[in-house]
Amino acid sequence: MSILIDQNQQVRNDFRLFAGRANPALAKEIAAILGVELGKITIGPFPNSETRVQIEESIRGTDIYIVQPTSEPANENLMELLITIDAMKRASARQITAIIPYFGYARQDHKTTGREPISAKLVANLLTTAGASRVMAIDLHVPQIQGFFDIPMDHLTALTTLANYFRDKQIENGVIVAPDVGRAKLAEKYAKILRLPLAIMHKRRNGADGQDVEFVELVGDVKGKTPIIIDDEIATGGSIYEQAQALAAAGAKPAYVSIAHAVLVGPALERLMHPSIREVVTTDTIPVPAEKRLDGKIEVLSIAPLLAQAILRVHQHRSVSQVFRDQHLDFAV
């Protein structure tokens, strides 16, 4: 369904939407909703494996929006985005908005031990130096990353997209479960939308890499109920795997999982097959090919309508946060 960039020819002429190679399907869907064609660009490797970018049309004086999550392979996708932004700046684009549905390096937002980088801040600096005028991302690992940017940063949330899915399912005797205290605020919003009770788990990470997870306390009643576990992403699936089993041991039914980003690396798919997990619901901020969807156990929702609406509001100099206020949500979660 096309919305809005179809009436004003001047708006159409001043607007360009481009796709990187990390998630072209999402960019195509956004373009279809907005009623525009994707910009013409060639991206590929030089013979020595360096990234080549060639913009195949004039973008002088236009507002550019480039869709490129920095998911796996993170370094390759990030470098491609930086080079593309640089090419657009040198082609005299008026404004360049980097739409990064999944913001890689977001977990590295602080030092956990001495002599470590703060890579999320470095990435913010790189995007600004390359020439980005604005950045748009969905469900950052921690919202404080917005403060790393010295340019406008729109932090969107997939909360309503995901919550509406569960509302339509009309799960009986459900309970929203936060995997830790840090996700309690987000889980509380789910509970409010779905009118369900809330439970909170406290977890402790062990080991030098923090991958070993131990759940030490559950606050809330889950016995005989269907849990909906809330989190921002699944990487190796260790937390979700341990949590679902802990909930089952407490008498809960097999759990649903609601996440914005399906990173799905290492043993994640094997862990998600465990019978204590009923279904994983995510979005297409990162491509999830059919072979990774576990015969329908992983449900992927489109985030394109949200991004299209945000892009349009930015281009028309209208409030982006109003989208969430209309849904009675805080802009940053």
Instruction: Name the residues annotated as catalytic.
Output: 203
For residues 303 and 323, the answer to whether their CB atoms sit within 8 Å is no
User: CB-side exposure of 194: number of CA atoms within 13 Å?
Assistant: 32
The rounded distance, in Å, linking the Cα atoms of 137 and 318 is: 18
What's the Cα-to-Cα distance from 17 to each of 192, 251, 256, rounded to whole Å? Answer: 35, 49, 35
For residues 146 and 123, the answer to whether their CB atoms sit within 8 Å is no
H or E element: which one contains 91? none
H or E element: which one contains 10? helix 9-13
Structure tokens at 238: 């260790």
- For 288, residues 6+ apart whose C-beta sits below 8 A from its C-beta are 262, 264, 282, 298, 300
